[in-house]
Chains A and B, each alone.
Chain A
């Protein structure tokens, strides 16, 4: 069964600090992996998309890494801001149908002053 596991479930950090979120997946065959940010009461918004051949992708203060051999990805947030408080969702494309997305349950990040 295709699965995406994220850790930690929740995280609280001080403004200005860095943090790293983890994602492990068992989706096969693999097409691409993306990270979404979901603010409370809003729809998810894509931060990065990585294909099999890409190891690192950055979007401002967000840097995603992918190790396709170990089926792990991480999202690193640098110099966190209060506006980074949100849920971060790891999504893997692949499986039986190319349209198919498998969503993780998300990591809820709270950035406090």
Chain B
């Protein structure tokens, strides 16, 4: 998984509680991404980061916030979890954000269940 770890790997939480997912990389890649994967949908981008303290929204960012204080760590926070946020969350990294064939490498995923 290209030097990417995600924690926790599985989590069950209750509606209304805050949740933070962590992505850690050892590749020193500049770009990091958070996606969610749901049945019947392709992977959808939540937020991404193009450097320390530099982040931007993806197509499904409502209800999520992110932070990146170090190159190697990218945190995804659900301020008040809802059942619609039950999903599998993937972190990805890439050296660049553009170019003819920039490559994204994915982590192992975190399965989050909100009851």
Question: Interface size bucket, B side?
Answer: 20 to 34
Q: Is the CB of B101 within 8 A of A32?
A: yes
Q: How many residues of A contact B (CB 8 A)?
A: 23
Cβ-based interface call for B98 (8 A): yes
A49–B109 Cα gap in the complex (Å)? Answer: 22
Q: Known contacts A42-B108, A105-B40; is A31 also within 8 Å of B100 by CB?
A: yes
* Chain B 67-106: CB-based contact to A (< 8 A → 1; otherwise 0): 0000000000000000000000010100001111111111
* Chain A 27-61: CB-based contact to B (< 8 A → 1; otherwise 0): 00001101000000111111001010000000000
Cβ-based interface call for A103 (8 A): yes
Residues on A with C-beta less than 8 A from B43 are: 44, 89, 101, 103
Residues on B with C-beta less than 8 A from A99 are: 31, 48, 50, 97-98
Query: Which chain B residue lies CB-closest to A49?
Result: B101
Chain A binding surface SS class: strand
Residues on A with C-beta less than 8 A from B102 are: 93
Specify which of B101, B105, B107 lies most central, judged by the most chain A CB atoms within 10 Å of its CB. Answer: B101
Residue of B48, B92, B100, B109 near A32 (CB, 8 A) is B100
Interface members, chain B 40-57 (any A CB < 8 Å): 40-45, 48, 50
A45–B92 Cα gap in the complex (Å)? Answer: 11
Residue of B41, B48, B98, B106 near A44 (CB, 8 A) is B106
Residues on A with C-beta less than 8 A from B99 are: 98
Q: Is the CB of A51 within 8 A of B100?
A: yes
Q: Is the CB of A41 within 8 A of B98?
A: no
Q: Is the CB of A43 within 8 A of B90?
A: yes
Report which A residues bind B (CB closer than 8 A).
Answer: 4, 31-32, 34, 41-46, 49, 51, 89, 93, 98-106
